[in-house]
A and B are shown apart, each in its own frame.
Chain A
Amino acid sequence: MKKQAKFAVGISVIVVSLACLAWLGYGESKTYYHTIAELQSLRGAELSHRMRVGGTVAAGSIRRFTGRVDFVLEGEGKSLPVSYVGSDPLPDTFVDKSQALVEGRPTDGRFVAEVVQAKCASKYEAAPGGTVATSSTATR
């Protein structure tokens, strides 16, 4: 039975150490997802979590400044002013009415985003129009 024990020990060491690393990695990168409506009802510690919020970019709301891009995200009837402060350029698909996913933290009534992902505005519909639904791009 001794060799069985050796294998068991070896396997456990590997699995346990990887589990520890996984736990650490999880802690470093976990990001909550909330809708705009949910944001307003968050309290206390939850507000300081890194989170993702999705919505549609309100038409005409994109304003570009040096080091910052402001826009308004709309969803389920609510709107959220966002400031993108990341260093990477915004993706090519980030235009009026595109679906966007922002990642960052809510601060003083605005949402400060470090990452912005945007999907192409139109969805594929079989019958009228027949426009394209495709890939989206993201800043990293």
Chain B
Amino acid sequence: MDVFGSFALILAFVCAVYAFGGGIAAIITRHPLLVKSTRQAGIATCCLIFIATFSLEYLFFSDNFSAAYVVAHSNRALATFYKVAALWAGQEGSLLFWSFLLSIYVFSVLVAYRNKNGELMPYVGVILAGVQIFFLTLNNFVASPFKALAVPGANGAMDLVARADGNGLTPLLQYPEMVIHPPNLYSGYTGFTIPFAFALAALLARYPGEKWIHLTRKWTMIAWCFQTAGILLGAHWAYAVLGWGGYWGWDPVENASLLPWLTGTAFLHSVMMQEKRGMMKVWNVWLVFSTFILCILGTFLTRSGVVSSVHAFAQSSIGSWFVGFLMVIFTVCLVAYLKNRDYLKSENQLDAIVSRESSFLFNNLILLVSCIAVLSGTLFPVLSEAVAGSKINVGAPFFNKVNIPIGLFLLFLTGVGPLLAWRKTSVESLKRNFAGPLIIGLVAGAVLFALGCREIYSLICFSLCFFVTATIFMEFYRGAKVIRVRSHASYLTSAIELTMRNTRRYGGYIVHMGMVLVFIGLAGAAFNQNVQKEMQPGSSMQLGKYKLVLQSFDSKPEANYTGLRLNVEVFVNNKPLMMLYPERRIFETNGETGTMVAIYSTLREDLYVVYAGQSPDTKLPVIHAYLNPLVKWIWFGGVIVVFGTLVALLPNRRAVLVLSGAKQPAPEPLVHGMTPSVTYREGRD
């Protein structure tokens, strides 16, 4: 099976090379046979990658310990659930997984548009094939997942061996989120290849401006949705498993996933400017180029070990391949841009500072500044060593100081932007739209201040959250009211109808609402508390309104680990509330330990209890308890964001004006001015 898999991979490489070279020939000669065969080669490349991936999974399921990769990441006792995930547990497999997910996108695009956009698709096919060639080169020649296990033999040659059992999956990865976080995040990373390919293709082919944006909108939203989900799942995993009480550490690998998200978000918004007013074309092209480049940079940072991180894979020379690829991409983008700059001329100018255009401009600017700040901070050790000779690291204070104000400004724009008019907003319009929400926001801030909240950033954040929520509700209310006039349905039904008639706009508002919830959750971090104490059975510790009493501790052997469990009872106002079981697991195969955090999560706060270890002198368990307010809002907000994106992806329901009652005489045509179907359009859209 491993020979089969590696053969499929090399064949995929050959097909990709043909799709690329033949594709270029197809563009130049426009020969229909070339066009068709290169598209089919592209599809074949994807299918072969699917086959190779399934072969590798088969090696895991069949416990084939003659394959080096399987030996390294699996063992017989491993649950099937995790054998699937072991595919992406190491360098080689995760690179193949990257190719696999990219191929799903490429396959879908090539098949969906096989009879459409004939001017553009050959270019798209070549670009996608080019990206696939890079990853297939790594899969085949640099980091092959199908290497057979071998040891040096007596006469110096390598002898193939087969182990009886493997080393097993690292304990930290044996958690359900391991199975969903990488697929989501990688689907985000690879998904951004599609809008990149279309943007570059449109630039090279000088394809009519807005058509490619319209084509790629759904793909961008899908990739963005996966990226968002991937980031939040990663944060949740860090929170629930690592036991340090937090969910974001500004670690280089975390930052690597955030960077394309920032430019991707800017791109998603900025394209509206190009669609409505033919502006920001240069911005958009470079935003999508940057998003793709940052995706590749992200995986480079993760894999190369160039910056030290808690997530780092093994040190390897694979970094140089990525640097080379990044240089090639950047050169191609730059040359394409310089040659076709005139095609990107704006059709309109910015009219006024209080306008929707300007809010998009500031949105772009602020996200870009954040991106540059996070990128500089992440790469600082590399930059400082090159410039000043000493490696300097910057930590959370740097990132937080810059990004918190940026986040607050973004929150402000989220409320204000959708209510500003295109071109210029009048003062009356401002007063009408913002008076209410502004008052609500200020009142909320005042109330919180009165209740004792003195953290300035949290106060601003909560006020803004109320402000934005009010603007969003106002939008739904106004639209629903108009629909209600005709349909006489409830407000809720009307709001749903409203959403379904313009899914992009109202789905977008739902996403914004989700982000507001996430910000509320993030603001809670300013009020975190924690306590650490050595405990013996019967002793207690107090944290906030909770009293934790250690009742007992036990040790429980499981299939591939031994669990050291603490039985902690939680009291509130001296009344028993629940039991929590923080645990440490010792894994048999490699002696490593893992921490299982016990979390009691409510909307108000999380009680987060960790079995930190044993006191060195007394051997008694040490418990570290945290009180983290509002964390649940982050995860809940994330679900709303994903839901909103899915709504926005749905096609619009067209509204039909129903003519009531009276019988129409048969052959009479419809009266000229009367349209039988109406789509709800607001002047502001």
Contacts and interface: CB of A to CB of B under 8 A. Distances in A.
B578 interface: no
Interface string A4-47: 00110011001101100110111011111110000000000000
Given A87-B532, A93-B592, A140-B244, A130 B402 contact: no
Nearest to A15: B369
Contacts of A79: none
A95 B590 CA distance: 12
B362 A18 contact: no
Nearest to B70: A130
A85 B39 CA distance: 62
Given A22-B373, A24-B401, A25-B400, A135 B592 contact: no
A124 B90 contact: yes
A89 B614 CA distance: 9
A127 B150 contact: yes
A139 B249 CA distance: 11
Interface stretch (B270-278, B306-314, B337-345): B306-314
A138 B310 CA distance: 7
A82 B588 CA distance: 30
Nearest to A68: B616
A17 B406 CA distance: 11
Contacts of B395: 29, 31
A22 B402 contact: yes
Contacts of B351: 3
B90 to A, nearest CB: 6
B358 interface: yes
Contact of A92 (B167, B390, B595): B595
A64 interface: yes
B500 to A, nearest CB: 37
B402 A18 contact: yes
Between B91, B173, B390, B393, the greatest number of chain A beta carbons within 10 A of the residue's beta carbon is seen for B393
A98 B294 CA distance: 32
Interface string A120-140: 100110111111111111111
Interface residues of A, number: 55
Nearest to A10: B353
Nearest to B610: A89
Where chain B touches its partner, the secondary structure class is mixed
Contacts of A137: 172, 242, 310
Given A25-B398, A33-B391, A92-B595, A128 B172 contact: no
B246 interface: yes
A124 B91 contact: yes
Contacts of B612: 88-89
Contacts of A22: 373, 398, 401-402
Contacts of A3: 350-353
A32 B392 contact: yes
A7 B350 contact: yes
B420 to A, nearest CB: 14
B73 A132 contact: yes
A39 B514 CA distance: 49
Given A30-B392, A92-B592, A137-B172, A14 B366 contact: yes
A36 to B, nearest CB: 14
B245 interface: yes
B326 interface: no
A129 B166 CA distance: 10
Given A32-B391, A136-B310, A137-B242, A128 B151 contact: yes
Interface in B367-423: 369, 373, 381, 390-402, 405-406, 409
Contacts of A124: 72, 90-91, 314
A133 B409 CA distance: 42
Contact of A29 (B173, B315, B394): B394
B152 A127 contact: yes
A101 B405 CA distance: 31
A10 B350 CA distance: 14
A131 B622 CA distance: 32
B552 interface: no
Interface string B592-618: 111100000000000000101101110
Nearest to A28: B397
Contacts of B172: 92, 134-135, 137
Interface in B267-287: none
A134 B402 contact: no
A127 to B, nearest CB: 5
Contacts of B308: 54, 101, 117
B149 interface: yes
Contacts of A139: 244
B532 to A, nearest CB: 6
A137 B613 CA distance: 15
Contact of A30 (B72, B365, B394): B394
A11 B401 CA distance: 19
Contacts of B593: 92
Contacts of B91: 124
A134 B365 CA distance: 38
Interface string B305-331: 000101111110000000000000000
B398 A11 contact: no
A127 B158 contact: yes
Between A90, A101, A119, the greatest number of chain B beta carbons within 10 A of the residue's beta carbon is seen for A119
A21 B394 CA distance: 13
Contacts of A95: 591
Task: State the 6 A-B residue pairs at the shortest beta-carbon distance, nearest first.
Answer: A64-B616, A25-B401, A25-B398, A33-B391, A133-B314, A89-B612
Given A22-B373, A123-B315, A131-B167, 9 more contacts: A17-B405, A25-B400, A26-B394, A30-B394, A30-B398, A88-B244, A92-B593, A129-B151, A135-B173
27 contacts: A7-B350, A7-B353, A10-B353, A14-B365, A18-B369, A18-B373, A25-B402, A29-B393, A29-B396, A30-B393, A30-B394, A30-B398, A33-B390, A64-B616, A88-B612, A119-B312, A120-B592, A123-B315, A124-B90, A126-B147, A129-B151, A132-B72, A132-B73, A132-B170, A134-B89, A134-B313, A135-B170
Interface of B: 68, 71-73, 89-91, 147, 149-152, 158, 163, 167-168, 170-173, 242, 244-246, 249, 308, 310-315, 350-353, 358, 361-362, 365-366, 369, 373, 381, 390-402, 405-406, 409, 532, 584, 590-595, 610, 612-613, 615-617, 622, 624
